[in-house]
Structure 1
Amino acid sequence: MLCASPSFASAAMSMASSSSPPVSRFAGLAHRTTTTLRYDQRPLPCSFTTGIQKKMRYPITTASADSPRPKSYKEVTKPFRQMFAREISTHSKDSDISIAKVLLYIAAEDEAFLAFNREIDALYFTRERGNIQDQSDPSETDSDEQQLLLQLDGKSIPEWLRELDAISKQVEEELVSRGIINSSCHSLQVLEAVNTVLFDMRGFERIPTCLNEDPNHFYLHSVLNSRCSSAFLFNVIYIEVCQRLGVPIVGARVGEDFLVWPKTENPEELFQVTTTTSGKSLFATVNGECVDDPKSMASELTGESLLDFAVATNRDIISIALSNLIRVHWRRASKPTPGQMLTAPLSELNNFRISNFPLLRPQDLRLAIAAAERLLILEPNNWIVRRELGMMYYYVRQCRDAIFELSICIANFAIGEEEAKELEIFVEKLHRIFSLMSPLDSDRLAVH
């Protein structure tokens, strides 16, 4: 193991004491440019549309060149980041953390970012057309209270939570129609009723993970609205609905999959095929095709082997959700450069040049960064996530933030000798680039 040198520890401390500027950086430019286009905030034609609607009243205005500069997107998303952090930090018991609330706060922050981009894009469009009517700053029209009215697909966060309540109520009605009293029914009967409501009555569809590149399938409100979901979020809905019905559901990572099942004294009954589950076991019906896929670890499970897995906590489940968002947004960000690995520059130190930035989609990259930042709030000692965040800061040319995060990895964590050496060399090169960067260079790289 390689210990960090004092210089890197001091570098991390010095970086912590200096606040990063509220500006973004160009991503994916192969040469220096003085263009004034706001690449980090202007939505690209290839970027996805989440279908999320907003109630924040950003008026589409025009402005002169002397108008006040719009606020940073960080100021717009700050309330939702604070709500996320508060839900994570204020509950001493893991079971008190609301998974659904946290996932909706995540979606609200990302939509606030996208809404801000759309408004800035409209503002610059009117400026480019030379139609000067108003010199107001659109971002100054919204208070924090107004931002909290943000709507996701036409509903507020409390309304989406009530949507989960409505599903639970519908399951109760289904149980009654079968002559089953909820207070005395077996957990398997509840799951069968949940399956009927989700699949048959509401038409939910589980999208195989290998085919899933649509970010909408990774946001809870989008899944509840479109009824198409990643396998992971589908199982989160199972947990939330059954929790409201008083049926404890547990889950665990099994290879690449996240599987759920009810707490039961006889787990073997989960794998029995019944007439009510269409020729499949209840475990397979709940968890989808991965249980029947011979390439998946889930296909090898038995009732006895379930007992060997560590049950995921609420924090673990939120961590998986954020990791999925990092993955899907990075894949979209790197589509213009197929095969681009997030940590590729660490293995290409001999060819390291400031002009060697890969072409990346900046909006998707910013969404991946936001997911990594939130994951570090949840898991501050996860050095791998911190390294990935540092590399993404590098891609958007936030050298100061990249140096800070990567220096922490070197100074505070017992990482492998080879990995530490790569990070040391990379950080040294970033220091040289940052020290040689003139104010003019900084302006050229910055997104104002």
Structure 2
Amino acid sequence: MSYWNEKYECMSKDEMRRVQTERLIKTVTRVYNNVPHYKAKMDKAGILPGDIKSVDDLKHLPFTYKQDLRDTYPFGLFAAPMSEIIRVHASSGTTGKKTVVGYTKNDIEVWAEVMARTFAGAGAGKESFLQVSYGYGLFTGGLGAHYGGEYLGATVIPTSSGNTKLQLSLMQDFGTTHIACTPSYALYLAEEMEELGIRPEDLKLKAGIFGAEPWSESMRREIEARLKIKAIDIYGLSEVIGPGVACECEYQCGMHIPEDHFIPEIIDPETEEVLPAGSQGEIVFTTITKEGLPLIRYRTRDLSSLNYEPCKCGRTEVRMSKVTGRTDDMLIIRGVNVFPSQVESVLLSIGETAPHYMLIVDRKDNLDTLEIQVEITPQLFSDEVKKLEDIERKIKKEVESTLGISAKIKLVEPKSIQRSEGKAKRVIDKRVL
């Protein structure tokens, strides 16, 4: 069994608690002294840094929400001066404003470290050829995997996303052994291989590290059967660090969390009470080594559970189960965060349709699709076809500019979208996850 950092990956629970306590105290002091937003929150809760004496005191600290990052956009939660921030990444938010993350030199090294552990857990090493087919740019996937692969000592092939025929050609020519991409793209690669007459035996591919979108066990089985590889699940959030917050090992029995960097909790999303080990609830993370954007008790809105038993691989790190859903209305479509409220703001800004809409999410040919049904007004209903087509194009352009992904726009008759007396139902997700 290959470990990247055996000292921490196989550390005893008592020793890990000592490490976490020391790092938590430093982090709490750092945010209190350097981030006015955190100081105000802690003062309001009547908590000073000196009150935090061990990991047991974590439950007394206030939560951090995505809204906190929006309220302090762009750099208000940074705990390091901008002169020490060497990179920023960002993910989409509900209002069009992005959630911005800053990294110091040390943060980039921590990120590379946790991603190196990820790849080692998937069986990769210095002799491996790692093809990174996540998108590069503000999205954390591509560069996170890239730096982790280099830190591991693997040969990194930075293909980014798209250009599938070239990707397959390089996999054959370079002898790619591991690939990092979305699971839906992995199935698309399998389809293209079949069309081009490329057999799994023609490749040296051993494993794939798949994330950035929800996927099911049945999808895992299909990927493994068609590509003849081991499909490894990875979990990440740009706010916490990016990919590498948790990842499966070769035994595929829960995602290992690097507890020396991130402390997880499971809470009841309604009462915010911390739940005992094994309970299903919302997973919350506290970062204890990050300098640029440390987060205290960040509410992810993702539903999961924690297993503290040692894994068959020998690692003692806590494992989180596959995310089963969310407590908010955010969708993840082709690796992009999508909120119905973003669509609503676009429609209201255009102002030529009724404010009633429905998002239909599906998975066709193993790729996520998004159709947005928009109700037209009675006046528009009797208008000429060209006028309706112009509105459709205008909505499509604005939606794609706001969301960052393509969507099919379908104008529907007045009052054809079901009304609700309670919270409006805006999403129909037909994907089998």
| TM-score of the pair, normalised by structure 2 | 0.27
The structure whose residues are more often strand, as a share, is 2
**Which fold has the larger relative contact order, with Cα–Cα distance below 8 Å and residues 6 or more apart in sequence?**
1
| TM-score of the pair, normalised by structure 1 | 0.26
